[in-house]
């Protein structure tokens, strides 16, 4: 407790000194300069000799000055920073009035929110909801189609409003940085330094100025961490309150983007560390347990509630059916307005003898059990033979050939009795194909593409020794009781072949040309696979007995909707979670983009190859650039092999930039590119911190202690928050198997900038406390200033690429092209 108090006390006089300088001059750069010379004396002195007398004198000084001033003045730095940030972030916000990069996607989603049309996205909804909210308040009516990157916004789109949320988040980030560093660093000037670095960082500027989610995510994350840190340093209600704030904010963080989960892990680690350290206090075990448990409850309960709440709002906002429906199961689709619901409304619930049904493959790829009047070829390409029976496939489109009739084996008539004779779990049925009237059959013949499984066919009696084996047992997977009825849409069924005990299964492979490239259906011994699960989608009762009549009925049938299908929020929520989780894994395997199979080499490629512009490509140079523009505008949503994709290993050295936008009639353009000076210093600081950490650890092992306990605690705190935070947000990307972009690095980068500020802080402190080299402090400070000026100049130089409002000549661009691997874009000269 004593140490904590002294820590607080030390901070106050420093702030006072600093701020009194501030009042003299409005420029805070200058003030921070002055402060370094004047203000730092007190705390440093304090740490050299941690004697009680010094603390006491400082306490006296503290008492002498009313605390009112203190608050007012402290805020001033914060406010100036915030204003500067708002100024840079909001300046000319609606410029360029064109669709920039991923605004294409987010804009589309905002439009869909406006219209209430259901969509599917692999990211959670909070960020998009916030964008929508701003747009809605400004009166955006959704009458704009986001067709491609670079097309101009119409007058009716409130561009400024749509972009204001990220812009404000990006500005607040500067303030939060300052506050967070106040908690971590030794000197206040470090906090200012960190905030200034964030303020003059081109990548954060560019990312904050458009409808992009990173700045919102980072803001929530950092604010959450700040609250958690505050909570760990306080006791009583303050701790509870801060932790609740933190937990809420972290919940928001991963409701914006899933990568926010890493920030959440960091928070859990910090709280865990706090509890671990408290165990060495002589508190009672009970108290310790209680405080652990409530922290756990808060940290898990609140974020979870936020997350679920966000999805609740999401689903409530999107009641209508839309283009992404087919990703979801039939039950989900049927619960949306329009779409499938308009077909399935009013259809009978219980599948009975004589029911006409379509059977949909429930999980993964959307397709329906299908057959057509074509047979399996007698011999396959690999020489194996087939049964030459009628093909059964899984077809991804609605088709009249997807209709099947449920029949009890012993009943000859197909008409539905009154009351209908409902089929229940465990009963044995036959399935007749509606158009060809052949029964679904399986037998001991290897399937065409997956020879380890049995072939499924529609039985044709060739009068050879192959008898029909067309009995299937209905197993309802989600049954409530052992005699559940088979319900349309709701019931998930597994059809088990009675003779062989295999289940009807979607194998996931495509048939060759003879099967019209439809998907293979087999009977597989492994019953529990999720691809063996089917559900009835459309359903009606057979009325006509005659076969011709039945066919006409099938072809011409139309359903008249009477009542809607309902699905509870929880069912919808769980399904959506499941789909989002599995979606990413599907994508590279060509589920969503079947034409683009995974190009593994693109992910493992080394540093990109480039033709030097000053050698031999000058003829093609401009054309190449122009073409790149084409690529940029046309192919940004292609998932693999993106032109501006990068690898995690390339990020710390800023090897690649991302072109966000190019003006159609000038060379003004927007790029996501970092401030080189900060960026490299940051990378250096990570190495430096790591090195110093090792040195301290080894020295301590040999019982040398270089730091006072207080300084050591600060050092390790910074390590746990910043160093660990950086790696937590960075390392996972090495294991992620999809296209990555530079902006994935930004959440890690903010921790890196803070670490950079801390490392400078720590070096300064170390120089200061050593009598022999104390005089070097001035030189060190001077170096930092020169470096800072350089940072600002670089920022200013590259800001044209963040604002995108200046036409650039070729020479300008070549001047900015500090690295061969940065691809800027030029229009072809006329």
Partner 1 sequence: MAKEKNASSSSKIWWITFGLVCGATFLTRFYKVLEPDHVCWDETHFGKMASSYINRTFFFDVHPPLGKMLIALSGKLTGYDGTFHFEKPGSKFEGARYEGMRIFCTTLGALIIPLTFLTIWEMTKNLDATVIGTLLLLCDVGFLTLNRYILLDPILLFFMSCTIYGVFKVRSLTDEGLAPFSARMLAWQLWLGAALACTISVKFVGLFVVLFAGLRTLADLWNVLGDLTKPVSYTVKHLIGRSITLIIWPILLYVFFFWIHLTVLSKSGNGDGFYSSGFQARLEGNSLNNASAPRVLAYGAAVTLKNHRTGGGYLHSHHHLYPAGAGAKQQQITTYTHKDENNKWIVKPYDREQVAGVVLVRSGDLVRLTHAATGRNLHSHRERAPMTGKFMQVTGYGEDGVGDANDVWKIIVSGGKDGDEIQTVRSKLVFIHYLQSCALTTTGKQLPKWGFEQQEVACNPNLRDNNALWNVEDNVFDQLPKMSFEVYASSFLERLVESHAVMLHGNAGLKPKEGEVTSQPWQWPINYRGQFFSANSHRIYLLGNPVVWWGNLAFLAIFFVLFIVNSIREKRAQAFGRIVEGDSSLLNAAGWNFVGWALHYVPFWAMGRVLYFHHYFPALVFSSMLTGIITVYLLQSIKSYLSRELGRAVYQGATGLVVSTTVYSFHLFAPLAYGMSGPLANEPNSTVAGLRWLDTWEF
Which residue spans within 525-640 are E strands per DSSP? Answer: 534-541
Binding range to partner 1, per CB under 8 A, among 22-30, 94-102, 478-486, 597-605: 597-605
Per-residue x/- mask for partner 1, residues 427 to 466, rule CB under 8 A? -----------------------x----------------
Q: Provide, rounded to whole angstroms, the least separation between the CB of residue 313 and partner 1.
A: 33
- Interaction of residue 604 with partner 1, rule CB under 8 A: yes
Return the residues of window 709-768 that contact partner 1 according to CB under 8 A. Answer: 735, 737
Do 124 and 576 contact (CB within 8 A), yes or no?
A: no
Q: Provide, rounded to whole angstroms, the least separation between the CB of residue 522 and partner 1.
A: 10
Nearer CB in complex with partner 1: 275/468:
275
Q: Report the C-alpha gap between 60 and 44 in whole angstroms.
A: 18
Binding range to partner 1, per CB under 8 A, among 59-67, 465-473, 623-631, 677-685: 623-631
Which residue spans within 384-524 are E strands per DSSP? Answer: 390-395, 403-407, 428-433, 440-446, 454-458, 472-476, 493-497, 503-510, 519-524
- Interaction of residue 578 with partner 1, rule CB under 8 A: no
The SS3 call for residue 17 is: helix
Nearer CB in complex with partner 1: 237/609:
609
Query: Can you say how many angstroms the Cα of residue 246 is from the centroid of all Cα atoms in its chain?
Result: 20
Q: Report the C-alpha gap between 246 and 234 in whole angstroms.
A: 14
Length of the chain in residues, anyone?
830
The SS3 call for residue 641 is: coil
Q: Provide, rounded to whole angstroms, the least separation between the CB of residue 504 and partner 1.
A: 14
Query: Cα-flanking dihedrals φ and ψ of residue 631, to 5°?
Result: -60, -45
- Interaction of residue 601 with partner 1, rule CB under 8 A: yes
Binding range to partner 1, per CB under 8 A, among 174-182, 409-417, 556-564, 610-618: 610-618
Neighbouring residues of 683: CB distance < 8 A, sequence distance ≥ 6:
652, 653, 752
Q: Which two tokens stand for residue 581?
A: 């989780």
Nearer CB in complex with partner 1: 485/657:
657
- Interaction of residue 509 with partner 1, rule CB under 8 A: yes
Nearer CB in complex with partner 1: 481/606:
606
- Interaction of residue 383 with partner 1, rule CB under 8 A: no
Q: Which of 702, 771, 772, 811 binds partner 1 (CB under 8 A)?
A: 702
Q: Which of 1, 52, 60, 281 binds partner 1 (CB under 8 A)?
A: 281
To 5 degrees, how large is the angle CA 84–CA 85–CA 88? 85
- Interaction of residue 76 with partner 1, rule CB under 8 A: no
Which residue's entry shows tokens 């979670």? Answer: 577
Q: Which of 152, 581, 627, 649 binds partner 1 (CB under 8 A)?
A: 627
Q: Which two tokens stand for residue 455?
A: 């072939």
Do 23 and 30 contact (CB within 8 A), yes or no?
A: no
Tell me the β-bridge partners of 109.
Answer: none
The SS3 call for residue 395 is: strand
Nearer CB in complex with partner 1: 519/744:
519
Q: Provide, rounded to whole angstroms, the least separation between the CB of residue 746 and partner 1.
A: 23
Q: Provide, rounded to whole angstroms, the least separation between the CB of residue 145 and partner 1.
A: 23
Q: Provide, rounded to whole angstroms, the least separation between the CB of residue 342 and partner 1.
A: 32
Binding range to partner 1, per CB under 8 A, among 156-164, 226-234, 701-709, 772-780: 701-709
Return the residues of window 512-571 that contact partner 1 according to CB under 8 A. Answer: 525-529, 531
Q: Which of 83, 581, 684, 698 binds partner 1 (CB under 8 A)?
A: 698
Nearer CB in complex with partner 1: 301/508:
508
Stretch (H or E) spanning 586: helix 569-586
Q: Report the C-alpha gap between 734 and 319 in whole angstroms.
A: 38
Q: Provide, rounded to whole angstroms, the least separation between the CB of residue 280 and partner 1.
A: 5
Do 423 and 485 contact (CB within 8 A), yes or no?
A: yes
Q: Which of 444, 546, 599, 807 binds partner 1 (CB under 8 A)?
A: 599
- Interaction of residue 638 with partner 1, rule CB under 8 A: yes
Q: Exposure pattern of 386-395 as b/e (b: 16+ CB <10 Å)?
A: bbbbbbbbbb
Do 474 and 426 contact (CB within 8 A), yes or no?
A: yes
Do 587 and 738 contact (CB within 8 A), yes or no?
A: yes
Inter-CA distances, 671 with 160, 202, 214, 516, 751, Å = 19, 9, 15, 45, 22
Q: Provide, rounded to whole angstroms, the least separation between the CB of residue 548 and partner 1.
A: 38
Rounded to 10 degrees, the C-alpha dihedral 588/261/103/644 comes to -50
Nearer CB in complex with partner 1: 214/650:
650
Q: Which of 101, 262, 506, 764 binds partner 1 (CB under 8 A)?
A: 506
Nearer CB in complex with partner 1: 409/512:
512
Q: Which of 68, 480, 563, 703 binds partner 1 (CB under 8 A)?
A: 703
- Interaction of residue 617 with partner 1, rule CB under 8 A: yes
Binding range to partner 1, per CB under 8 A, among 249-257, 263-271, 272-280, 794-802: 272-280
Neighbouring residues of 102: CB distance < 8 A, sequence distance ≥ 6:
210, 211, 212, 636
Binding range to partner 1, per CB under 8 A, among 102-110, 111-119, 139-147, 636-644: 636-644
Nearer CB in complex with partner 1: 144/822:
822
Q: Which of 426, 508, 613, 639 binds partner 1 (CB under 8 A)?
A: 508
Inter-CA distances, 614 with 810, 819, 820, Å = 13, 13, 11
- Interaction of residue 273 with partner 1, rule CB under 8 A: no
Inter-CA distances, 256 with 217, 347, 729, Å = 6, 39, 15
The packing angle between helices 188-199 and 2-24, to 10°, is 60
Do 747 and 262 contact (CB within 8 A), yes or no?
A: yes
Q: Which of 379, 605, 770, 774 binds partner 1 (CB under 8 A)?
A: 605
The packing angle between helices 126-137 and 214-232, to 10°, is 110
- Interaction of residue 280 with partner 1, rule CB under 8 A: yes
- Interaction of residue 1 with partner 1, rule CB under 8 A: no
Which residue's entry shows tokens 């012993």? Answer: 410
- Interaction of residue 693 with partner 1, rule CB under 8 A: no
Residue of 787, 707, 766, 756 whose CA lies nearest to 190:
756
Burial class (CB in 10 A: 0-12, 13-18, 19+), 180: buried
- Interaction of residue 276 with partner 1, rule CB under 8 A: yes
Per-residue x/- mask for partner 1, residues 641 to 660, rule CB under 8 A? x-x-----------------
Nearer CB in complex with partner 1: 557/585:
585
Q: Which of 418, 566, 595, 772 binds partner 1 (CB under 8 A)?
A: 595
- Interaction of residue 705 with partner 1, rule CB under 8 A: no
Q: Please tell me the count of residues contacting partner 1 according to CB under 8 A.
A: 56
Q: Provide, rounded to whole angstroms, the least separation between the CB of residue 490 and partner 1.
A: 26
DSSP for 219-253 reads HHHHHHHHHHHHHHT--HHHHHHHHHHHHHHHHHH
- Interaction of residue 83 with partner 1, rule CB under 8 A: no
Q: Provide, rounded to whole angstroms, the least separation between the CB of residue 701 and partner 1.
A: 5
Do 689 and 755 contact (CB within 8 A), yes or no?
A: yes
Do 184 and 230 contact (CB within 8 A), yes or no?
A: no
Binding range to partner 1, per CB under 8 A, among 246-254, 300-308, 324-332, 592-600: 592-600
Q: Which residues bind partner 1 (CB under 8 A)?
A: 276, 279-282, 285, 450, 501, 506-509, 525-529, 531, 589-591, 595-601, 604-606, 608-611, 615-617, 619-620, 623-624, 627-628, 630-631, 635, 638, 641, 643, 698, 701-703, 735, 737
């Amino acid at each position: 407790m004593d140490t904590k108090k002294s820590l607080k006390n030390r901070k106050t006089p420093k702030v006072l000194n600093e701020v009194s300088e501030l009042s003299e001059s409005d420029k805070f750069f200058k003030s921070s300069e002055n402060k370094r010379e004047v203000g730092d004396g007190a705390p440093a002195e304090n740490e050299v000799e941690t004697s009680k007398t010094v603390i006491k004198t400082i306490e006296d000084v503290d008492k002498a000055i009313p605390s009112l001033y203190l608050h007012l003045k402290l805020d001033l730095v914060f406010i100036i920073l915030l204003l500067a940030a708002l100024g840079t972030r909001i300046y000319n916000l609606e410029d360029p009035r064109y669709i920039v990069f991923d605004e294409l996607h987010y804009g589309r989603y905002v439009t869909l929110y406006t219209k209430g049309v259901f969509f599917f996205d692999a990211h959670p909804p909070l960020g998009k909801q916030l964008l929508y909210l701003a747009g809605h308040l400004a009166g955006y009516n959704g009458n704009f189609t986001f067709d491609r990157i670079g097309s101009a916004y119409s007058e009716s789109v409130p561009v400024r409003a749509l972009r204001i949320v990220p812009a404000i988040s990006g500005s607040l980030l500067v303030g939060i940085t300052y506050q967070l560093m106040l908690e971590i660093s030794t000197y206040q000037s470090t906090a200012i330094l960190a905030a200034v670095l964030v303020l003059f960082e081109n990548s954060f500027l560019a990312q904050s100025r458009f409808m992009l989610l990173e700045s919102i995510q980072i803001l929530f994350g950092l604010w959450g961490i700040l609250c958690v840190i505050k909570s760990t340093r306080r006791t009583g209600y303050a701790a509870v309150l801060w932790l609740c704030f933190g937990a809420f904010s972290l919940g928001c963080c991963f409701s914006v983007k899933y990568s926010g989960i890493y920030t959440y892990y960091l928070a859990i680690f910090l709280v865990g560390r706090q509890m671990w350290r408290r165990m060495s206090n002589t508190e009672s075990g009970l108290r310790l347990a209680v405080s652990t448990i409530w922290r756990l409850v808060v940290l898990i309960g609140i974020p979870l509630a936020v997350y679920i709440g966000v999805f609740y709002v999401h689903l409530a906002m999107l009641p209508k059916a839309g283009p992404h429906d087919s990703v979801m199961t039939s039950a989900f689709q049927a619960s949306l307005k329009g779409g499938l619901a308009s077909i399935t409304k009013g259809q009978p619930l219980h599948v009975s003898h004589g029911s006409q049904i379509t059977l949909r493959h429930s999980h993964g790829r959307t397709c329906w059990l299908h057959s057509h009047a074509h047979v399996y070829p007698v011999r396959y390409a690999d020489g194996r033979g087939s049964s030459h029976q009628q093909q059964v496939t899984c077809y991804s489109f609605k088709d009249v050939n997807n209709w099947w009739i449920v029949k009890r084996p012993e009943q000859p008539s197909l008409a539905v009795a009154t009351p209908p004779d409902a089929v229940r779990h465990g009963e044995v049925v036959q399935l007749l194909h509606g158009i060809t009237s052949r029964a679904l059959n399986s037998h001991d013949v290897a399937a065409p593409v997956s020879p380890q499984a049995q072939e499924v066919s529609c039985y044709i009696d060739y009068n050879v020794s192959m008898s029909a084996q067309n009995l299937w047992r209905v197993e309802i997977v989600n049954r409530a009781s052992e005699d559940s009825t088979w319900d349309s849409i709701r019931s998930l069924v597994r059809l088990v072949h009675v003779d062989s005990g295999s289940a009807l299964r979607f194998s996931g492979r495509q048939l060759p040309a003879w099967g019209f490239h439809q998907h293979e259906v087999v009977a597989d011994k492994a019953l529990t696979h999720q691809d063996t699960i089917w559900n009835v989608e459309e359903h009606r009762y057979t009325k006509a007995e005659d076969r011709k009549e039945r066919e006409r009925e099938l072809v011409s049938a139309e359903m008249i909707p009477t009542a809607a299908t309902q699905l509870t929020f929880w069912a919808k929520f769980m399904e959506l979670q499941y789909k989002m989780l599995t979606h990413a894994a599907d994508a590279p395997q060509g589920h969503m983009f079947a034409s683009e199979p995974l190009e593994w080499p693109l992910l493992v490629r080394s540093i990109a190859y480039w033709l030097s512009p000053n050698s031999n490509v000058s003829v093609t140079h401009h054309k190449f650039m122009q073409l790149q523009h084409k690529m940029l505008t046309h192919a940004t949503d292609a998932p693999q092999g993106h032109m501006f994709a990068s690898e995690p290993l390339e990020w710390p050295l800023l090897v690649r930039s991302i072109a966000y936008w190019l003006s159609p009639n000038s060379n003004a353009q927007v790029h996501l590119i970092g401030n080189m000076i900060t960026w490299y210093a940051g990378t250096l600081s990570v190495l430096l911190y790591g090195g110093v950490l090792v040195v301290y650890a080894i020295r301590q092992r040999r019982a040398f202690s270089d730091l006072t306990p207080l300084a050591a605690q600060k050092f390790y705190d910074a390590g746990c928050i910043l160093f660990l935070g950086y790696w937590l947000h960075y390392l996972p990307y090495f294991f992620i198997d999809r296209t990555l972009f530079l902006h994935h690095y930004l959440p890690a980068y903010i921790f890196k900038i803070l670490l950079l500020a801390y490392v400078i802080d720590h070096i300064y402190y170390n120089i200061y406390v050593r009598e022999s080299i104390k005089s070097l402090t001035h030189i060190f400070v001077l170096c930092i200033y020169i470096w800072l000026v350089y940072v600002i100049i670089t920022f200013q130089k590259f800001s044209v690429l963040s604002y995108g409002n200046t036409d650039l000549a070729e020479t300008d661009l070549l001047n900015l092209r500090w690295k061969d691997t940065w691809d800027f874009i030029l229009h072809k000269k006329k």
